[in-house]
A and B are shown apart, each in its own frame.
Chain A
Amino acid sequence: MKKFLSSPAFWRGAASIVVFLVLWEIGARSKQWMSPEFFMPFKELLGAMGFKKDYLPWIGAVPAPSGVLKAWIAVLGQPGYWQSWYMSMFRVMGGFVAAMIVGIPFGLMLAVSRVAHGVGFPVFEVLRPIPPLAWVPASIIFWPTQELAIIFITFLGAFYTIVINVLGGARSIDVRYFQAAQSMGSSRWDIFRRVILPGTLPSIVVGSAVGMGITWEVVVAAEMISGGGSQQAGVGGGLGFFIWNSYVGGSYEQIVVGMISIGIAGFLSSELLRWGGRHATPWLKSR
């Protein structure tokens, strides 16, 4: 840890974040130090590009990091904020774990059984291109609660990626491993357990990481569309709804708080996954 703190990589990263925040702060305060007249010479040009002449895209319209920080501190004490975290995490993890539980065996089955592949794959391939968000209305109609509907949609976000990766991973296992195992007296079950499973693990890890990313994208959008699930508006509707609610309520600082919270939540879940992946595939040193 000490070594890490003194490493150039750490300081480069820290500097990058600080510079970013400073530029953002300066930009956000440009209202104060930059008069609207500054843009006058460009008005005609920008108008020709289709911008409204009295409303230009301008970083000054974005809340400053200092304001965001204040709003964040204020919100930290509210149970609703943490409830939003909990709800989004719960939905992501629920959908994601379900996708692993269903997707890994399904992918393996498609890989090892020609019959399963023949029967299962065409349907899978037709459903796969449908974006998870296109499922939102149908899902709300189908599932008894909105909560289940949202979890189902996050499930879809991760499911296809996991299945495709498992299938591809299992199929790309070198035939030599099968031949070697067979020569050394392995039964079909041994080959499945000792060659196909470990041989597919790296792809499972990769598929899960990608799937986790999609899950976060999907959950936020689903929460916005469905109005925060079964929860009362504004209280624990998930981080996606937290953002939407802040927008509707005109609290622009809180929008950014919600965005950064999602960034942190996504980062934490990826780290968790990477950690799990490293332990599942210790023979791959570089990841």
Chain B
Amino acid sequence: MNMRHPSTRGQISIQDVVKVYDPEGAAVMAVDHCSLDIDAGEICMIVGPSGCGKTTLLNAIAGFHEITSGRITMDGEVLCSNEKPKSTPGPDRIVVFQNGALFPWKSNLENVIFGPVMQGKLGRREAIEKGRAMMADAGLSGVEHNYPGEVSSGMRRRVEIVRALMNDPKALLLDEPYRALDSLTKSVMHEALLEIYYKNKVTIFFITHDLEEAIFLGHRVAIMTTRPCKPKKVLDVDIPHPRDYSVLTSKRFRELIEETNDAVHEEALKAFQAGEKEG
């Protein structure tokens, strides 16, 4: 459908999804009739203020939370719907968490081989071989036998992305993975992520509240309204991939920021006035 990201799998369709927390009590509407189609192999950035319900959407796709109504499909297959409100978590959709979820008690390499070994897709020895190769590819040679707690937070994120990719997922769901990193590390991580993406071509559903990050990485940027969450504006980023950091100083990049800044700011202001908690 879209020639810019020619993958054949990982097309996610969010159709009219509603999520109400505590429907019998406080009835907080987190997601309001949200529809969004994400192409196979697309990097789709979800931008919205903290606590707007973006993570709720991600949890629905991943299968960590139920939806109240609506439907989410992947490659035509129904993940969750009115009949089956909670999708089943699986290795085809791997989440990279905000604060990281590498098992601290396993070495980096043990973390990386966890998925394929659990699923019985690879024997331990093959998994180790593949894990080492993928870690080397991501610039992680030499830290295989360290614990996650022994390496920098930037490296941990990279290990976690490698761990996700080891499952051969159709989609990566990233929940503000670089939020806790300093801006210098962040810029390195962005290029590293793109490099990994160019090699693996998975669909990326990437939540952030950083507009520059969103425009730099994404094929499209969906700007969400503050709670309840639904797309306010979907921006096509017409800067060709592969991209590198020179993009940040390009005219087009600045134009796109200007084009969207108001929409983002407006929602952030609304969230601030509503007193949303950071989340």
Minimum CB–CB distance for A132 against chain B, Å: 33
Q: Of B29-37, B70-78, B85-93, which binds chain A?
A: B85-93
In the bound assembly, the distance between CA atoms of A282 and B93 in angstroms comes to 31
**Does B271 have its Cβ within 8 Å of any Cβ on chain A?**
no
In the bound assembly, the distance between CA atoms of A285 and B149 in angstroms comes to 9
A-side contacts of B115, CB under 8 Å: 184-185
B103 touches which one: A177, A179, A281, A285 (CB < 8 A)? A177
In the bound assembly, the distance between CA atoms of A190 and B114 in angstroms comes to 11
Q: Of B13-21, B94-102, B192-200, B255-263, which binds chain A?
A: B94-102
In the bound assembly, the distance between CA atoms of A281 and B106 in angstroms comes to 10
User: Judging by beta carbons under 8 Å apart, are A184 and B118 in contact?
Assistant: yes
Specify the chain A residue showing the minimal Cβ separation from B119: A185
Minimum CB–CB distance for A238 against chain B, Å: 38
- Considering only residues 172-189 of chain A, those with a C-beta below 8 Å from chain B are 174, 176-177, 179-186
User: Judging by beta carbons under 8 Å apart, are B105 and A201 in contact?
Assistant: yes
Residue picked from B95, B106, B118, B147, most chain A C-beta under 10 Å: B118
A199 touches which one: B105, B114, B149 (CB < 8 A)? B105
Check A185/B91 contact, CB under 8 A, given A198-B103, A201-B105: yes
A-side contacts of B95, CB under 8 Å: 179-180, 183
User: Judging by beta carbons under 8 Å apart, are A198 and B105 in contact?
Assistant: yes
A-side contacts of B90, CB under 8 Å: 183, 185
- Considering only residues 101-129 of chain B, those with a C-beta below 8 Å from chain A are 101, 103-106, 114-115, 118-119
In the bound assembly, the distance between CA atoms of A284 and B93 in angstroms comes to 31
Check A180/B101 contact, CB under 8 A, given A185-B115, A186-B118: yes
User: Judging by beta carbons under 8 Å apart, are B93 and A184 in contact?
Assistant: no
User: Judging by beta carbons under 8 Å apart, are A283 and B105 in contact?
Assistant: yes
Specify the chain B residue showing the minimal Cβ separation from A283: B147
B interface SS class = loop
A184 touches which one: B106, B119, B149 (CB < 8 A)? B119
A-side contacts of B272, CB under 8 Å: none
**Does A46 have its Cβ within 8 Å of any Cβ on chain B?**
no
B101 touches which one: A177, A281, A282 (CB < 8 A)? A177
Minimum CB–CB distance for A192 against chain B, Å: 13
**Does B60 have its Cβ within 8 Å of any Cβ on chain A?**
no
Specify the chain A residue showing the minimal Cβ separation from B93: A183
User: Judging by beta carbons under 8 Å apart, are A179 and B62 in contact?
Assistant: yes
**Does A210 have its Cβ within 8 Å of any Cβ on chain B?**
no
Minimum CB–CB distance for B19 against chain A, Å: 17
**Does A62 have its Cβ within 8 Å of any Cβ on chain B?**
no
In the bound assembly, the distance between CA atoms of A285 and B106 in angstroms comes to 13
Minimum CB–CB distance for A129 against chain B, Å: 33
**Does B208 have its Cβ within 8 Å of any Cβ on chain A?**
no
| Binary contact readout B151-166 vs A (1 if CB under 8 angstroms, 0 otherwise) | 0000000000000000
User: Judging by beta carbons under 8 Å apart, are B105 and A185 in contact?
Assistant: no
Check A183/B103 contact, CB under 8 A, given A176-B97, A283-B147: no
A-B contact pairs, 15 of them (CB 8 A): A176-B97, A179-B97, A181-B103, A183-B90, A183-B95, A184-B114, A185-B90, A185-B118, A194-B103, A198-B103, A198-B106, A282-B147, A283-B105, A283-B149, A284-B149
